[in-house]
């Protein structure tokens, strides 16, 4: 079987990479490594340029500001943007919220929320995980109580990426405490400026502020912000998770780290021998390159299935678990190639590759937890893919 892209997709990849090279600026070096004001400004500026070209939401229908591009074309976009560490993408608004709203949202919700995303004007975040209920998402405790034309939300979400920059949050809350845990959950769109919302920063061990805890204290949300049916938000949430897990970012990031490390190995001697010529280095790097290519093909298969109108539930889980674990193996190998220098962080002038390997190695551990743990993914694959009974 031959895996090949269409001539149009290949032409788009060339156009995109040339655009990235022309737009590249020094601010990009930190835009993917933290969320300070300078890097956030670079992200917003690039996002606006992508929106102006119609690339930010290229796979969306034209009436919502898209180009009706195929999911494969969108995957090509994400592939190259990740590899070149280009800022500007909006995964929460474009790939997750937007795609889900098109399937489950009302016409009023689509008209209100989709155009600003397409124009690059709004930042979304996701309120799923909670303290003590991370992996077992359906056991969430955040409550939403109906009060006339509003819902009153109380509770907290944790590990909420970009909440400190977010304009809106999509969240799950329990609306029926007597129903089985997968029922009685509803899906809401909430303005982050609503009174009663507090964002508390969480700085990770790599020194980055991406995560937050979000507190909801009697937050009043219009009933019109409910997506889909009341008490059936779990089915909306599962759709969103499929889009969240179908990204090609894992393999693209892994390939870039391998390329950077290989160039370093080719220019560095250890014990009088060029690192790139050491047999164990060559063997380990070759294994990692192969795994990245496998992860890449699995991710593109998910995009192909979406283009065929299929819902790649188990396939998305396969892509997520293999891709995230591949990045862990990649960063471990790269750390071994760098040796003791690999433990230096980006604040140390002697750190090779600006300390990116160490930082990505530490970040890789969260990859098998965020967006659904590897254990959860394997359960999905076993139950829905292999038809195995629940244990």
Enzyme catalytic residues: 244
Half-sphere exposure of 388 (CA within 13 A, CB side): 11
Could you tell me which of 358, 300, 296, 357 has the C-alpha nearest to residue 326?
A: 296
How many other C-beta atoms can be found within 10 angstroms of the C-beta atom of residue 229? 12
Q: How far is CA 157 from CA 46, 222, 224, in A?
A: 29, 20, 22
Measured CA angle at 241 (ends 233, 239), to 5 deg = 55
Q: How far is CA 160 from CA 58, 123, 212, 221, in A?
A: 26, 13, 5, 19
Which residues neighbour 262 within 8 Å (Cβ) at sequence distance 6 or greater?
276, 285
């Amino acid at each position: 079987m031959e895996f090949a892209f269409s001539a149009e997709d290949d032409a788009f990849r060339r156009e995109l990479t040339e655009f990235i090279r022309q737009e590249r600026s020094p601010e990009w070096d930190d835009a993917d490594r933290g969320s300070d004001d300078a890097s956030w400004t670079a992200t917003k500026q690039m996002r606006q340029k992508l929106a102006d070209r119609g690339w930010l939401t290229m796979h969306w229908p034209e009436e919502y500001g898209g180009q009706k591009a195929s999911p494969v074309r969108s995957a090509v976009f994400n592939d190259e943007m990740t590899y070149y560490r280009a800022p500007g993408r909006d995964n929460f608004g474009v790939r997750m919220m937007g795609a889900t709203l098109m399937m489950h949202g009302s016409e009023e919700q689509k008209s209100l929320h989709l155009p600003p995303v397409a124009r690059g004007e709004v930042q979304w975040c996701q309120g799923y995980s909670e303290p003590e209920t991370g992996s077992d998402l359906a056991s969430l405790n955040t409550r939403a109580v109906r009060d006339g034309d509003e819902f009153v939300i109380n509770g907290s979400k944790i590990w909420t990426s970009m909440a400190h920059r977010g304009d809106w949050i999509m969240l799950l809350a329990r609306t029926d405490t007597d129903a089985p845990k997968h029922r009685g959950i509803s899906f809401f769109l909430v303005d982050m400026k609503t009174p009663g919302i507090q964002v508390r920063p969480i700085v990770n061990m790599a020194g980055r502020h991406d995560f937050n805890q979000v507190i909801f204290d009697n937050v009043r949300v219009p009933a019109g912000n409910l997506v889909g049916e009341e008490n059936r938000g779990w089915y909306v949430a599962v759709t969103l998770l499929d889009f969240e897990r179908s990204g090609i970012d894992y393999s693209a990031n892994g390939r870039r780290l391998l390329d950077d490390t290989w160039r370093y190995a080719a220019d560095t001697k250890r014990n009088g021998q060029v690192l790139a010529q050491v047999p164990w280095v060559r063997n380990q790097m070759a294994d990692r390159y192969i795994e990245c290519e496998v992860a890449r093909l699995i991710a593109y298969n998910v995009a192909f299935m979406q283009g065929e109108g299929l819902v790649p539930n188990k396939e998305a889980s396969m892509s997520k678990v293999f891709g995230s674990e591949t990045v862990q193996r990649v960063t471990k190998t790269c750390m071994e190639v760098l040796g003791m220098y690999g433990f230096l962080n980006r604040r140390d002038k002697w750190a090779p590759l600006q300390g990116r390997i160490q930082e990505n190695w530490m970040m890789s551990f969260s990859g098998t937890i965020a967006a659904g743990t590897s254990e959860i993914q394997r359960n999905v694959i076993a139950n829905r893919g292999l038809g195995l009974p629940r244990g």
